[in-house]
Chains A and B, each alone.
Chain A
């Protein structure tokens, strides 16, 4: 069964550095998402992406964050000037038809900011 893949599985970065989290969504899906989950807390929406542009973003997704679909398969989340509070699991998801269909999640990237 097709699945969403994320790399790396664990990223350790010094505070202030930039990180890029990578995702390969399911190939025929059109909607892409990033969520994050701080340890012990609920999964929080960051951003949705459709037709090569951001369709919605949360208050968390400020100028520090950006997303890109550089080619036909990858979907990336860039975090600039990382802060300690950016430490979390970051999940990529994709869907055939937006939030009215199931979203398929990757196993996440655990980001640790030191």
Chain B
């Protein structure tokens, strides 16, 4: 499998429910970031978690990172119709911190009103 694979590939839930998406990666990382992409738009940064952090919160978002399992999860609580989008994890593996992000395959989230 490739660096940064999310599962599930697609998720449909009722508005108000919680949505959980998972990301696995293969190499050592400096940080892991989650981005949202609405259809036809650019990526919007949601949250960054560093390799020495285990959990981070931002509003309705909760991200966990388990470096021993090389995995991360994104939880969106109390989902809203506006949360419908694709969600990508991205890892920074660089030695110098100025290079690329490697994106996962994404989870397409649909919130049913």
Contact = CB atoms under 8 A, between A and B. Distances in A.
Nearest to A50: B98
Contact of B98 (A55, A102, A108): A55
A98 B96 contact: yes
**How large, as a class, is the contact surface on chain B?**
20 to 34
A45 B101 contact: yes
Interface in A31-46: 31, 33, 35, 42-45
A92 to B, nearest CB: 9
Q: How large is the interface on A (under 10, 10 to 19, 20 to 34, 35 or more residues)?
A: 20 to 34
- 5 shortest A-B CB distances, which residue pairs? A98-B98, A45-B100, A99-B92, A105-B42, A102-B45
A107 B42 contact: yes
Contacts of A103: 33, 45, 101
Given A91-B43, A106-B42, A107-B41, A98 B94 contact: yes
Interface of A: 4, 31, 33, 35, 42-45, 48, 50, 55-56, 58, 91, 93, 97-108
Nearest to B43: A105
Nearest to B106: A42
B99 A55 contact: yes
Contacts of A97: 97
A48 B42 contact: no
A56 B100 contact: yes
B44 to A, nearest CB: 7
A8 B30 CA distance: 34
A24 to B, nearest CB: 13
A102 B42 contact: no
16 contacts: A42-B105, A45-B100, A56-B98, A56-B99, A58-B100, A91-B43, A93-B43, A98-B94, A99-B97, A99-B101, A100-B92, A102-B33, A103-B33, A104-B45, A105-B42, A107-B41
Interface in B68-91: 88, 90
Contacts of A101: 48
Nearest to A30: B98
